[in-house]
Amino acid sequence: MDPIQLICDIGEINEVFTDARSIEAFLQKIVNMVARHLDAAVCSIYLYEEAKKELVLKATCGLETDYRDSIRLKYGEGLTGLALKELRPVYERVGKSHPKFKFIPGIAEEKFDAFLAVPIIRGISRIGVLVVQRENRREFKEKDIQTLRAVASQLANMLENARLLIYLKSGSIIDKKPRFRIPKVLKGKVASQGFAIGPIRIIDKDKNFETIEKRNFSKNYDINDFHKAIEITEHQLEDLQARVEEKLSDAASLIFTAQLLLLKDNEFVGTIGRKIEAGVSPPRAILTVTRHYIDIFSHGTNSYIKEKVKDIEDLSIRLLGNLVTEITDLYKCKDHIIVAKELFPSDILRLSSEQALGVVIVTGGVTSHLSILARSLQIPMVIIDSQKLFSVQDETRALLDAETGNLYINPLPEIISKISNRNLAKIRISSKKGQLQKHTYTKDGQRIRLCTNINLLSDISLARKIYTDGIGLYRTEFPFLIRNDFPSEEEQYVVYRRLIEKMPGKEITFRTLDIGGDKVLSYFDWTKEQNPFLGMRSIRFSLSNKELFRQQIRAILRAGIGASIRIMFPFISSVEEFLEAKTTVNQCLKELHQMKIAHNANPKIGIMIEVPAVIPIIDNLAKYADFFSIGTNDLIQYILAVDRTNEKVADLYVPHHPAVLRSIKLIADSAIRHNIGISVCGDMAHQKLYIPFLLGAGIHELSIDASFFPTVQNFISKLDLPDTQILTREALKAEKISEIAKIMT
């Protein structure tokens, strides 16, 4: 087996992970596996204790030591410490002769010659170092270095969780809530269309760990019941993970790793077991130990560590649900309509894996990325600004109509019948639509490129059913948003490569990481900002975290081998900013070439136009860019100073405002003048009111969600390009919004 294939064969790592019965056993199996694949005499894993600034040997094969935890290196000490400090592989043909080599008595390390250390990093976090050694002057080749880097990247997620758990070893009254008279119908805002009938599950209270702590458990349970609950819980989590990976390969980084590792942790399970044997009831023992872990994690200053509180709470509830008959259904989300106050993207992913019917978010607004994610997962979602929903009893029957935004409580049979028939009729009409044309043309024969927006790999199945001209926008942030930590370069590579392989022959536009504003990573320490939409977001975040940015660019370039790819930077506001981002791409290209790693050497590089500041300098940017893509959603909100997620000013968010239309025309004219690509990938691209204006402005490429393809292609086929040009000229002359509305309608 070619060792480099190890990075793409997560199956072997999964097998090692599943078979291991403790964290220590897992680490030992990993070093054995890596040593075997690299034909190395020694393989060691050092984990980094940030508080002490020390690397600690946690697992090894080939060294003569039984005192792993006692072998410590200061940050930057020895060749191993150097690799972590400088975040680069350190290779020496004869390690012991290097002045930085750290001699450690008693482990017989000096008898080995070739020394290779690779840092293990997760996003911007230093996790540890993976070290391999050979004897008899058997050298490591460049391919070995790349393989070890890939393995370190693939293992980073698991090892980060293992490190947190290892670090820990060192170191029935329900709250009353106001009762309301519940209306029969609650009106909300549609976030993701669909239809669901089923019982309600209120996540806000039933998954509250403090509520469960106050319960009294009447039945007696013993240690055997506890071990059986662990076994059942482990199988449940493994099944959930398998279903997530089958449905969303973007999430192949084992989102349930933290919980599975806790079940393998001798300290966690052993402490609970000892309390049970000392006479504490199993439910109370689980709650007591869980509370200890929660308190430790909650007092941390790191967002990633605090995020683990949710994993621990979820695990304890699952364990209790499999142990205590009184709360068997406590965690049940399958076939339920979920009502919650706040959800992260990772929560939406979990609800999808647990087969929830639909989601109601109880708040005044919704972030766009939650809506996009729910649509990709085909989960109906409605946002309702009413605290009354939290007074609804669990298991109350409801009908979620995410076409109109209504939630019906205990719906009457005639309501169910009426809405069910409406949806069946809609499905029948959709199925009778004529076949899509292979290419999109206006009535007078002008070719229009109609491309697809992709959020998750699950969107590809629909995109493959239509005759798309390419992927006009792949939102690379979603593999970041749906995880609990940064995806590594290797994980990104696998996702990007699958996208390319499933869309052969199609040009694909990768928008680099677009986070910040309303798209906040729960596991990253964001500094509180007064105006997050104007703060550290998108390309600003990438340029401030160059190592993360380089990992993403390298993954895109490597995945793009043999394909036509475009790299697009979001939120560019100056020529300098664009050139700095472009320089990073060129540096990655040079590095991959020097290392002889297969990659796409000729990507097109462009800009997502969404910051008004670039409009006066659009000709300057056009000299350096291969294409422009207008992100109308953000461009409109910044031109008009209107938060598009704020319902109080929603009426002011008007795409046909004269300033918006004239800005779009200026951008299009510049692109045409400089002979570079121009497209629109925002909501205006699929709205019938605005498509004629865009075509008349000279924009002949639109990128839309696949679900809009039939409607948009059919609409374009009825337009004459000369007529759209007349409409555009008239709209640009108009002074008032009301005048433009009449012209467009």
Q: What is the CATH number of the domain that holds 217?
A: 1.10.274.10
| pLDDT confidence of residue 304 | 60
Residues 6+ away with beta carbon under 8 Å from 10: 154, 252
Comparing C-alpha atoms, which of 335, 332, 308 is closest to residue 320? 332
Does residue 80 sit in the same domain as residue 123?
A: yes
Comparing C-alpha atoms, which of 557, 582, 654, 573 is closest to residue 616? 573
| pLDDT confidence of residue 169 | 60
Give Cα separations from 617 to 26, 102, 612, 620 (angstroms).
Answer: 56, 55, 10, 5
CA atoms of 254 and 727, how far apart (whole Å) = 52
Residue 381 domain flag? yes
pTM: 0.72
CA atoms of 338 and 318, how far apart (whole Å) = 17
* pLDDT greater at residue 509 or residue 530: 509
Does residue 252 sit in the same domain as residue 155?
A: no
Please give the angle made by the CA atoms of 617, 623 and 627, to the nearest 5 degrees. 95
- Residue 267's pLDDT band, with cuts at 50, 70 and 90, is confident
Residue where a domain terminates, one of 432, 457, 485:
432
Residue where a domain terminates, one of 382, 401, 432:
432
Does residue 60 sit in the same domain as residue 114?
A: yes
Helices 257-264 & 266-277, crossing angle to 10 degrees?
Answer: 50
Residue 138 C-alpha from the chain's centroid: 41
pLDDT (mean) for 376-382: 86
Residue carrying the six token digits 């390298």: 554
Q: What is the CATH number of the domain that holds 195?
A: 3.50.30.10
Task: Provide φ and ψ at 451, rounded to 5°.
Answer: -110, 170
What are 285-294's contacts with CB under 8 Å, separation 24+? Answer: 285/226, 286/226, 286/316, 286/319, 286/320, 286/323, 287/212, 287/213, 287/316, 287/320, 290/209, 290/315, 290/316, 291/213, 293/168, 293/268, 294/209
Q: Following DSSP, what letter does each residue of 14-83 receive, concatenated?
A: HHHHHH-SSHHHHHHHHHHHHHHHHT-SEEEEEEEETTTTEEEEEEEESS--S-GGG-EEETT-HHHHHH
Residue 345 domain flag? yes
| pLDDT confidence of residue 366 | 56
Does residue 417 sit in the same domain as residue 557?
A: no
How much of the chain is in helix, strand and coil states, percent to nearest 5? 50, 15, 35
Comparing C-alpha atoms, which of 610, 626, 628, 632 is closest to residue 704? 632
The Cα diameter of the chain in Å comes to: 86
Does residue 720 sit in the same domain as residue 736?
A: yes
Helices 282-298 & 303-323, crossing angle to 10 degrees?
Answer: 170
Residue 613 domain flag? yes
Q: Judge contact between 625 and 606, C-beta under 8 A.
A: yes
**Reduced to 3 states, what is the DSSP secondary structure of residue 332?**
coil
Does residue 420 sit in the same domain as residue 445?
A: no
Is 593 an active-site residue?
no
Residues 6+ away with beta carbon under 8 Å from 626: 566, 604, 605, 606, 676, 677
* pLDDT greater at residue 259 or residue 453: 453
Determine which helix (DSSP H) or strand (DSSP E) holds 348, and give its type and residue range. helix 345-353
Residues 6+ away with beta carbon under 8 Å from 358: 194, 196, 198, 337, 338, 379, 380, 381, 382, 400, 402
- Residue 4's pLDDT band, with cuts at 50, 70 and 90, is very low
The C-alpha R_g of the chain, in whole angstroms, comes to 28
* 140 secondary structure, DSSP code: P
pLDDT, one tens digit per residue, over 660-672 is 999 999 999 999 9
Q: What is the CATH number of the domain that holds 78?
A: 3.30.450.40
Q: Judge contact between 202 and 390, C-beta under 8 A.
A: yes
- Residue 206's pLDDT band, with cuts at 50, 70 and 90, is very low
Residue 177 domain flag? no
Is 686 an active-site residue?
no
Give Cα separations from 364 to 341, 382, 413 (angstroms).
Answer: 10, 11, 30
- Residue 590's pLDDT band, with cuts at 50, 70 and 90, is very high
pLDDT reading at 115 higher than 50:
yes
| pLDDT confidence of residue 205 | 46
> Over the chain, what is the mean pLDDT?
84
**Active-site pick, 451, 657, 681, 686:** 681
Residue 175 domain flag? no
CA atoms of 402 and 189, how far apart (whole Å) = 8
- Residue 131's pLDDT band, with cuts at 50, 70 and 90, is very high
Percent of the chain with pLDDT over 70: 84
Q: What is the CATH number of the domain that holds 636?
A: 3.20.20.60
Residues 6+ away with beta carbon under 8 Å from 637: 533, 643, 644, 653
Give Cα separations from 714 to 84, 479, 632 (angstroms).
Answer: 57, 33, 22
Task: Provide φ and ψ at 196, rounded to 5°.
Answer: -150, 140
Does residue 326 sit in the same domain as residue 336?
A: no
Residue 176 domain flag? no
Does residue 488 sit in the same domain as residue 611?
A: yes
What's the half-sphere exposure (Cβ side, CA atoms, 13 Å) at 137? 1
Does residue 160 sit in the same domain as residue 231?
A: no
What is the residue range of 411's domain? 183-203+332-432
Q: What residue type is assigned to position 14 of the chain?
A: N
Other beta carbons less than 10 A from residue 638's beta carbon: 16
* pLDDT greater at residue 623 or residue 345: 623
Does residue 49 sit in the same domain as residue 192?
A: no
Residue carrying the six token digits 């297969």: 598
Which structure tokens are listed for 310?
């949710």
pLDDT (mean) for 682-688: 94
CA atoms of 732 and 656, how far apart (whole Å) = 10
Residue 178 domain flag? no
| pLDDT confidence of residue 433 | 46
Residues 6+ away with beta carbon under 8 Å from 442: 448, 695, 716, 717, 719, 720, 721, 724
CA torsion sign for 407, 413, 414, 417 is positive
Does residue 492 sit in the same domain as residue 632?
A: yes
Q: Judge contact between 201 and 336, C-beta under 8 A.
A: yes
- Residue 128's pLDDT band, with cuts at 50, 70 and 90, is very high
Residue where a domain terminates, one of 330, 351, 385:
330
Residue 680 domain flag? yes
Does residue 592 sit in the same domain as residue 728?
A: yes
Among 332-346, 429-443, 556-570, 594-608, the range scoring the smallest mean pLDDT is 429-443
Other beta carbons less than 10 A from residue 184's beta carbon: 11
Other beta carbons less than 10 A from residue 299's beta carbon: 9
Q: Following DSSP, what letter does each residue of 567-586 receive, concatenated?
A: EEESS--SHHHHHHHHHHHH
Among 334-343, 544-553, 658-667, the range scoring the smallest mean pLDDT is 334-343
Residues 6+ away with beta carbon under 8 Å from 527: 536
Q: What residue type is assigned to position 312 of the chain?
A: I
**Active-site pick, 37, 369, 599, 686:** 369
Please give the angle made by the CA atoms of 78, 81 and 85, to the nearest 5 degrees. 135
- The domain total for the chain is 4
pLDDT reading at 545 higher than 70:
yes
pLDDT reading at 175 higher than 60:
no
Residue 187 C-alpha from the chain's centroid: 30
CA atoms of 242 and 254, how far apart (whole Å) = 9
- Residue 600's pLDDT band, with cuts at 50, 70 and 90, is very high
pLDDT (mean) for 604-629: 97
CA atoms of 453 and 262, how far apart (whole Å) = 38
